[in-house]
Every structure is written in structure tokens, then in C-alpha cells.
A and B are shown apart, each in its own frame.
Chain A
Amino acid sequence: MVVMELRDGSRMEPAREQALVARASSDPAAFAELYDAYMPRIYGYLVRRVDERAVAEDLTAETFERALTAIRSGSFRNEAFGGWLYRVAGNLLVDHVRRGRRYVALARLGDDGEEEDALATAVDQRALEQFTAAVDRDALSAALRELPAQHRRVVVLRYVDGLESDELAAALGCSKGTAAVRLHRALRVMRTVMTREAIDVA
């Protein structure tokens, strides 16, 4: 057995990040360091999901403005600052998609929760398609294409955006354990699809 570990070399040390967040309310240099570390990642996250760079820039700016406001007001309590940024950026994306829709079938407006989930999945679709196209192995590509909607978000955040476990949990708004289990389930579903594909080919 291998215990799941999520790691990515591009991440700032969590202890350093926490110290910077604690200082940033009164020290612009601390906020600058956080900005320098995370702005490219958040911009990348957004630009993988929207067509226009101008929109990605607007949403990036809004994400960091909210971060600054949260830090300065003392309302930021999350340990994973990066994950919190991804969550804010994701919410802004959902708002952006919602605003951009001129017509919406009323049948889809019934349940706020379903609508929110559908929009959240929709904003990840573009990134998932890029990832699927970039994967070499056909079976893996097929598994990504067929990945059920409820598993897409966690897979995209983890592998396409490269979030680590605490960031993933913050971005999904759940505990680290729940995030890991969700990812585990998604991988198992993918493996099952790949197995089925292999049987079909045989």
C-alpha cells in the first residue's frame, strides 16, 4: 500500500506562508512576497479556464484584492493561503460564467446548489479538455474524457493546477481527509474506466 501524498515542488513552505500571512496585514513587503509566489499560479489557473486574457487578468486582480482585504481586516483564518486563493478565484469564475449567460432555461434554475455545482464543473471543463489532449496514453485520455462530473473538479485541481493536499482541501471547502478520499475515489473510477476500455479492446 502507498499512502497518498500530494506534493508539488513549486509551492511555498507552509510555515513561511503562514508567517507572511500573519505579517501581511501591517507589512506590505510580506504581502508582496505572497503576491509574487501566488499570482502566476492563480493567473495560470484562471487563464486555463477562460478564453480572454483580459478576463483572466480582471479575475486575478479581483482575487488578490479580496485577499488583501481579508488579510487587512483580520478575517483570513485559513491555514492554506494558496488554497483560499484558488477557492476565491473559482467563485469569481462561477460568477463570471453566470453573468455571461444571457439566456438560461428556467428548468436549470431550480436548485441553487445544483446550479452552483454545475457552474463549478463547467468552469473546469476547458482545463480538463486541455489536459486530456495533452495526455499521451489513449486509455488515460479516454478515462479523463469519461470522468463523471462529480469527480472532475478534484482531478483538475490536483493534476492540472497542481494543488497540494491542504490547498486542495481549502479550494474544495472540505477537510484534507475528505479531499484525499474524493481524489482516491476519482482515481478508482478512472482505473475502472481504463479496465473497461481494455476489456472492450480485447
Chain B
Amino acid sequence: MSPDERIRRMHDDVVLPFDSAELDADLAALDAELAKAGVALRRSHERDGRSRPPASFASSLRERLLAEAAMPNGAGANPPDADADVAQRVQPTIRRRTPTILPAPRWTILALAAVFVVALLGFNARGWFTGPAPVRATDVAGASLVRGGTSSALAIGAALEVGDQVSVDQSGHAVLAVGNGLIRLDEGASIRLDRLSGDVSIEQMGGRVWHRVVLESGRSYVVTTGAYRWTALGTAFSLTRSRGGAGERLDLTAVEHDVVLAGPSVALGIAQGSAVAVNTGVTPGVYVNPATAAQLADPWLIANARLDAAAGYGVGVLETALGSPTPGPSLTPAAVTPGPSLPGETTGPGSSESAAPTPTDTPTQAPTTAPTSKPTPRPTPTVPPVGSIGASVIGCGETAVVSWDAYAGSRFAKLAVVRGASAFGIPTSYPPGGGITALGGSLTPSAAAGSYSDSLGTGSSAWYRVLALDSAKHVIAASAARKATAPGIGALGPFVPTPVAGGVEAHWTPYGGNTACFVYYKIVWSATDPNPTYAGGIYDGYEVVSTQTDSVYSFSLAAGTYWMRIEAIRYADAGVSPIVVGRSDAVQVTVP
């Protein structure tokens, strides 16, 4: 057998017998050599600190986990003694209530469950388990229904079925309730209901549509636009399908939570706050960018977000925009805000190829049947909608500072901050899964506005979301996901302490970084340590310079030789440690 042939055999697990794990001398030597090399590698990494967890991280995580471990274990197993007590108390009760004709409570339950399952199977189980989502028109003007090839005017309250096509004329609109979610069709939009049993699948044939998705666990919501499929992972997005250049243009704004796009040669997660443009024309491409302020100010998005917010839904990335006064809600936008330009296409009001709604300079008067600020009537959601909390995040020094507004809603028990390493999917659930970290130190029973500092390291980025929890740790409100990048500790330029009689006159270059990160200076000194710092507690003394624009300061100091520097500090709350955001080099000065 040639070596190559042997290698082929060795690579094939099927050919090799499932033999015992005994090693001949050669393999034992190889095993020992590899094990020794592995130990050497791990020790080397430990020595150079590469695989050693930072002490601050290790201790803070330990503290947080132990705090959680010490909390009452509601859902978990109780201590053995407690279990025994409960069993002793409950068992006689069960015995008394169980008729003697039945063998035991658990067998009775199993038997009843088996009968139920058999009955389900006998009655077309698929229909029972995956009943179609009820769809009906709740608000209609100028819309038609095509069913079985026959077109008719769509009436308010009409129940819709799989295969139905709804089209809105150029001065109309339509709102469809899909289960507990809804679809708002703008003028000129058209959709077809392809699947409603369990999973929901909709073909968006043209125009602009707002999708507010409320799904039962395990169900999916898919919108198809030709060869492209948009799967909602969250709850709200706006999708526009229009002519563009030689092909089509698809524009999606992920308003709340994420959407997954799959299409020819592309599979892509679209994070909340992103805008996607797909061009299927001569120069096909998929373009993903954070939605610009202009895009998020689109009256169409704002109007829909206002309606949803009034109905108690979260509005994700638009919650900030809703804070500013805008005209009353109307499903007809004042002007179409164009999405990002794509190569090889003509966009804008003058484009004759665009089938998108024609923009106008003045707000279109809403028709009499247009929606008002009153929420569209529809079934009460079975899942309580998650409210919203205003939050912002900035990177200061080596830290991300997450700040939030006061939460005034009911059922509040605690507030927490969660962090993700990427923009993809920070869920509004707690504790979060999938690699998202609950920052245990942020957990607070206070509903007041506050902030939390999270150590990141220079140049690192993270995404944060603030969550309000009820007493059962269910999320009752959430902020939009916000990103912060830690810029690192900035250099303050030359620091020149000049000895004067009985003290020092210090000169420096004022801090030029983000003013939101800066509160005051501290001049720190040490007679023994060449690297004094306030944040690390390494100093013999310090002076506070509270005027941010100052560049000179004189103060008294006992005679002696000191290492001295100036640090720019952010200090926000009593419970949050000061953060050093700027620092000069330490220099030596001798006070006579």
C-alpha cells in the first residue's frame, strides 16, 4: 500500500474499524510529544499574559455571578432539605385527592395526555397546531382585493385568505391585521398572502409597506420580493420595492430589531437601525449602511412609528425621532426621502422609471378615512408589548458610558444594561442569550435616570441596550441598541509645572476631546511613584481644576521633589467611578 493510499484510508472514518483506543509505542510517543508541546504552549501564553484573564474582568464577573447565585432561586431546584419538606407536605394531599380507581397521579396525567394526542392526530393535527393567522382589513381607502382572479373593493373588516392579493391605488392606503401584528400598505403598494398557517409568508409585489411583526415562538415571518427573502427576527421594518434602473430596487429600514436577507449570492443579517438597498439592475449589489438621520426622518417612518408607539409597541431606532414635534400622523409622507444612491441608476423626483410614490413639496391631505392618532383597532396582543426607554452611549477614555432616562412605566422592578460584541441582535430579553452579556453591575432597583460605565479597552467597540424588568425579570421596556467605541485615554500635550515659592505654577494644553466625557482636571503628584494617577489611586495629593478651558493653575505644595501630571476626568454619578479621559506625561518637579 502506498503512503498516499494509506492516507486516504486513514482519512476515511468509515473504512477504519471502531477499534480499541490502544496505542502502540510510536503513537504513545507522538501523544506524549504533542501533550508536552501543548503544555509548553499554554504555559508560554500564561507567562506572556496572552491567555490570562484580566484581573478586573475576572473579579467583576465573579462578583456578579456570585451575587446572582446568592439570589433566591425561583425557577431552580431547591436545596435537598427543602425539597424533602415540600414532598412530605404535599404527598398526603395528593393521595387524598386521587381516586382509588386510578393508579397514581402521574400515570393518570400521562394517560390523559396520550388520549389528547391521539385525539389531535385524529382531527388533522397540523391544522390544530398551526392554525392560520387571522388576517383582516382594519383600515382601508382606495384598495382592491383580488381573489381567485376576481377583483373587488377591499372593505374594512374583510377576512383575507391565502392567495389573496391586496393592491392600493395611488391615493389610497390599507391596514391589515395579521394575527397580532399588522401590515400598512402605502399608496401604490401591493402584496399577496402566500402562507398564513403557522409561519407567515407574504410576497410584496410593489410599493412601500410597513411590517409590524408579532409572532408566536418558533414562527417565522417572511416577505419575498422576487428572488430576495426578508425574514423578520424582530418586530418592525419598512420595505419598499420599486423600479430602479434596468431592474428593481429594494429598500429596507430595520426599525426595531433585526431582519435577515437571503437572495442570489447573499445572506445577510441587517441590524436594527440599518438601511439596506438592493439593486437588481445592470450593476446588481447589496448596500448596507446605518440609516442616516435623513432616512430616519422620513415622514412615512415617523407616521408609522407614532401609530405603533401609541398602540404600545416599541419603535426601536425611531424612538429619538419621535421625541421631536412632527405633523400629525399620516400614512402619506410629505416627501419621499431617497435611500442611498446605487451605481448605475437614476433616482430622485425626476426619475420616470420609478414606480414609487411621487413626492410632493407639501404634505398631502390625509383622506377622511386615513388613520388618526387613535391606534388601529385590532386584537389585543397576547405578548405584552415592550415599551421604550431613552438611552445614549458614549465612549470615554477606555470606557463606554451608558446613560438612560427615568422610566415611569408600571410593573418596574429593576433596570439592567446588556452588551453585545456586534450589532447583530441584542435581544430584548433577560437574561440575554447568544453571546450577549448582562452587565450585572448595572442591575439597579432604581427607575431614575442613571448611567453605567463599562470598561472596553482602547479602540474596542460594543453595543448596549438598557432594559427595564418586572419582578419576574421579564422585559417591560427596552432602549434601542446603541454603539460605543472607546477612544482611549487622550494625550493632554506638554504639562509644565514650574516651581515657585511655596508651590507650583502648572501649564498645559486644554483637553480637546469629547466634552461630554470631561468634567474637570486633576493635577496629581507622588513623591515616590513615577506614574501618579487619580483613577488608579496612585498619588500623594491632587488639586482639582474645575474650569475646562483653563490651561494654567497655581497651588501651594510643600518643598520636595515630585512626579506630577494632569488628568482630564469624567465624573457623573456618585456610584460610578471617575474615568480618566486625558492624561499628560508625568514630569518631575522640585519645589524649593
List chain A positions with a Cβ less than 8 A from chain B: 1-4, 8, 24-26, 28, 31-32, 35-36, 39-40, 43-44, 47-48, 52-55, 57-62, 64-65, 68-69, 71-74, 92, 95-96, 99-100, 102-106, 109, 130-131, 134-137, 140, 148, 150, 155, 158-162, 177, 180-181, 183-185, 187-193, 195-196, 199
Please tell me if the beta carbons of A193 and B61 are within 8 angstroms of each other in the complex: no
Please tell me if the beta carbons of B68 and A130 are within 8 angstroms of each other in the complex: no
The residue in chain A whose Cβ has the minimal distance to the Cβ of B68 is A68
Q: Does B109 contact A (CB under 8 A)?
A: no
List chain B positions with a Cβ less than 8 A from chain A: 3-4, 6-7, 10-11, 13, 16, 18-28, 30-31, 33-35, 37-42, 44-46, 50-54, 57-58, 61-62, 65-66, 68-70, 73, 75-79, 262, 264-269, 288, 419-422, 424-425, 431, 433-438, 456-457, 460, 462
- The verdict on A187 contacting B31 (CB below 8 Å), with A72-B76, A150-B13, A180-B21 known, is yes
Chain A residues whose C-beta falls within 8 Å of the C-beta of B28 in the assembled complex? 2, 4
Chain B residues whose C-beta falls within 8 Å of the C-beta of A60 in the assembled complex? 53, 57, 61
Please tell me if the beta carbons of B37 and A74 are within 8 angstroms of each other in the complex: no
Tell me what chain B mostly uses at the interface: helix, strand, loop, or mixed: mixed
Chain B residues whose C-beta falls within 8 Å of the C-beta of A155 in the assembled complex? 34
Please tell me if the beta carbons of A184 and B23 are within 8 angstroms of each other in the complex: yes
Within the assembled complex, what's the spacing in Å between the Cα atoms of A195 and B26? 11
Within the assembled complex, what's the spacing in Å between the Cα atoms of A32 and B288? 44
Chain B residues whose C-beta falls within 8 Å of the C-beta of A31 in the assembled complex? 65-66, 69
Please tell me if the beta carbons of A3 and B41 are within 8 angstroms of each other in the complex: no
Please tell me if the beta carbons of B42 and A44 are within 8 angstroms of each other in the complex: yes
Please tell me if the beta carbons of B38 and A159 are within 8 angstroms of each other in the complex: yes
Please tell me if the beta carbons of B19 and A181 are within 8 angstroms of each other in the complex: yes
Selected contact of B41 from candidates A131, A137, A183, A184, CB within 8 Å: A131
The contact sample of 13 A-B pairs, CB cut-off 8 A, is A26-B78, A44-B42, A62-B437, A68-B69, A71-B76, A92-B434, A96-B421, A99-B424, A109-B267, A160-B41, A162-B38, A184-B19, A192-B7
Within the assembled complex, what's the spacing in Å between the Cα atoms of A16 and B48? 31
Chain A residues whose C-beta falls within 8 Å of the C-beta of B268 in the assembled complex? 102-103
Nearest Cβ in chain A — how far from B350, in angstroms?
33
Within the assembled complex, what's the spacing in Å between the Cα atoms of A195 and B10? 13
Nearest Cβ in chain A — how far from B395, in angstroms?
13
- The verdict on A32 contacting B62 (CB below 8 Å), with A68-B68, A140-B33, A189-B10 known, is yes
Selected contact of B435 from candidates A44, A96, A185, CB within 8 Å: A96
Give 8 nearest A-B pairs by CB, closest first: A74-B77, A180-B21, A72-B76, A44-B51, A159-B38, A28-B69, A196-B3, A2-B28
Please tell me if the beta carbons of A39 and B61 are within 8 angstroms of each other in the complex: yes
Best-surrounded residue of A61, A71, A196 (most CB of chain B within 10 A):
A61
Within the assembled complex, what's the spacing in Å between the Cα atoms of A59 and B269? 20
The residue in chain B whose Cβ has the minimal distance to the Cβ of A130 is B41
The residue in chain B whose Cβ has the minimal distance to the Cβ of A188 is B10
Selected contact of B22 from candidates A1, A57, A96, A103, CB within 8 Å: A1
- The verdict on A2 contacting B25 (CB below 8 Å), with A99-B269, A159-B38 known, is yes
Chain A residues whose C-beta falls within 8 Å of the C-beta of B265 in the assembled complex? 105-106
Nearest Cβ in chain A — how far from B266, in angstroms?
6
Nearest Cβ in chain B — how far from A162, in angstroms?
6
Please tell me if the beta carbons of B421 and A52 are within 8 angstroms of each other in the complex: yes
- The verdict on A47 contacting B62 (CB below 8 Å), with A24-B69, A25-B76, A58-B437 known, is no
Chain B residues whose C-beta falls within 8 Å of the C-beta of A190 in the assembled complex? 30
Please tell me if the beta carbons of B51 and A47 are within 8 angstroms of each other in the complex: yes
Please tell me if the beta carbons of A59 and B435 are within 8 angstroms of each other in the complex: yes
Selected contact of B62 from candidates A35, A59, A62, A103, CB within 8 Å: A35
Nearest Cβ in chain A — how far from B419, in angstroms?
7
Selected contact of B431 from candidates A26, A65, A184, CB within 8 Å: A65
Nearest Cβ in chain B — how far from A105, in angstroms?
6
Selected contact of A103 from candidates B46, B267, B421, CB within 8 Å: B267
Within the assembled complex, what's the spacing in Å between the Cα atoms of A55 and B421? 6
Please tell me if the beta carbons of A26 and B437 are within 8 angstroms of each other in the complex: no
Extra 8 A-B pairs, beta carbons < 8 Å, given A47-B50, A72-B77, A191-B26:
A35-B66, A65-B437, A69-B431, A73-B76, A99-B422, A159-B37, A192-B3, A196-B4
Selected contact of B11 from candidates A44, A148, A158, CB within 8 Å: A148
Please tell me if the beta carbons of B3 and A39 are within 8 angstroms of each other in the complex: no
Please tell me if the beta carbons of A100 and B422 are within 8 angstroms of each other in the complex: yes
Chain B residues whose C-beta falls within 8 Å of the C-beta of A62 in the assembled complex? 433, 435-437
